[in-house]
Amino acid sequence: MSIQAEMEESVAYTPLQRMRHSASHVMAEAIQEIFPDAKFAIGPAIEDGFYYDFDLPRPLTPEDLPDIEQRMRRIIKADYQFKNDHWPREKALEYFRAKGQDYKVEIIENLPDAEVGIYQQGNFLDLCRGPHIEHTAQIGPVKLMRVAGAYWRGDEHRPMLQRIYGTAWATQEELDQYLWRLEEAQKRDHRKLGRELKLFTFSEDVGPGIPLFYPRGEMLRRLMETYVRETQESYGYQHVWTSHLGKVHLYKTSKHWFTYRDDMFPVMKGDQEASEDDGYILKPMNCPHHITLFKTQMHSYRELPVRYAEFSTLYRYEKAGVLSGLARVRSLTQDDAHVFLRPDQIQEEFNKAVNLTLEVFDTYGLKDYWVRLSLRDPQKKADYVGSDEVWDSAESALRGAVERKGLKYEEGIGEAAFYGPKVDFMVRDALGREWQCSTIQLDFVQPMNFELEYVGEDGQPHRPVMIHRAVTGSTERFMAMLIEHFAGAFPVWLSPVQAMIIPIADRHQEYANKVLEQLKAAGIRAELDTRGERMNAKIRDAQMQKIPYMLVVGDKEAAADAVSVRLRTNVDLKSMPLTQLIERVSGIASSKSMEL
């Protein structure tokens, strides 16, 4: 956040944000007590908390936080009033210069106002537009979370400051719930579970942001992609395949080159060394390729809509600082689809795309989501391709389709793609965190860029409309969300290993192998634990691996052609015939139920 933005956005604070912003000032007063020569930067409220940036005589450590917290509680208890005043800018400059507060001076110098806001509580006076709560005692339970580094104004060439993050809530119960969510999020972290469950890894030898999938991870990918592939086909999509490379001129025609050039990998040699347009790049997006497929053939109005879908690996040069496990990678696989249709088919095709999306969400057990209608920013029209008339038509058509479908939505100004408005489905996981997953984009621009045509009922050429559509978006990102949503305990149909066979002793290996063969023949993904560990240790390890069923076999089970079944939840189903177990697992898996 810029300094100007922080000063301006503070006026829109909600009551909870005002309290958190006030807590940041109290934290600054506590810091001033410890470090009288501290220099203060900014301290806004943020999502779930607040922070303040300081220039201090020594580095802070986690051991400093309890002392700062204790001082904050004393200041809060003292019930100081937050006093507001307005000073002429020259008076403020003189005051903060005399105090050696260089960062406050710089803020004032960059503000256009003749007067600046001043707030004081207790012994701390700060430059601030507010608003704040009335008294420090109105601040609820506070917890300081961590210390981090932050460049002044986000500029790596400016001083590195120390940032203390904290959180504040109206009640202790809310604070406790928030801290529980954080702890649970750490347990569910897909990077941690990815290692523990042997799903994926990263290697510096291969390169950051390029995931490598173990057999279980590959199986999970395959299950996810196969399900979406089959569901798409039931909605009339045809799957295509396009290369991992494309010529630069293709992305210049689509205008992606001019918007996303910095996010693409460098140009590789082409057939003509001197021509940039003739050079190749790793494919960063699919739409120009699918458009090319459509354009190679003549299409009648009767054929439309034409629906192309592809699970394609794309390559984007994300900066190292934003890479985050599977959630942000440099090689990603997208369940991308592009529909070419007549203008009169927009509503029907939009409904199909929504129905497909919601069917997939329902299967995955994702019930909590909301819809964002992403529109262009009218103040930044230069960031978008296409005329006002085209954009007005596209936005009107998409808004109408959303409303006629009966979707409740929120507008996202400035969230549109550069070529058209879109509908984004924002999914909340089991901890209430939001993930952007599905998107449906309406595009009048790319058909113009590529001069697409179809033969109309009148025998004349007409321009089609495009819908860009992704159900789960990036396979990697969606997998990251599923890992954290299910805490690694996937539904039976999605579990890479559905059953672990555990022989009690070496003499039971022969029967265990027979069970394994029968399970595999029935299409059940099973493994056999042949290690020389004790039975209880094998059960515990299988539970840690989140495997749905542990099948213990010994003398009694071998004699009865049965298995002793224990669930990963530690529920003991006792002994049952192997045929009954197969019927149970197969039925639950085929129905894609959330049951065990």
CA 221 to chain centre: 17
Helix (H) or strand (E) holding 476: helix 475-485
Phi, psi of 11 (to 5 degrees): -70, -15
Strands 369-375 vs 409-413: parallel, antiparallel or unpaired: parallel
Residue 531 dihedral angles phi and psi, to the nearest 5°: -65, 160
Q: How far apart are CA 377 and CA 382, in angstroms?
A: 10
Closest among 179, 175, 168, 182 to 13, alpha carbons compared: 168
Distance CA 170, CA 147 (A): 23
Give the pair of three-digit tokens for residue 64. Answer: 């400093």
Size (the chain), residues: 596
Is the preceding peptide bond at 305 cis, omega within 30 degrees of 0? yes
**Catalytically active residues, by annotation:** 287, 316, 334, 336, 338, 422, 468
Task: Show the DSSP H helices in 309-387 as ranges.
Answer: 346-363
Taking a C-beta distance cutoff of 8 angstroms, is the pair 44, 80 a contact? Answer: no
13, amino acid identity? Y
By CB atoms closer than 10 A (0-12, 13-18, 19+), residue 573 is: middle
- In Å, the largest CA–CA distance within the chain is 94
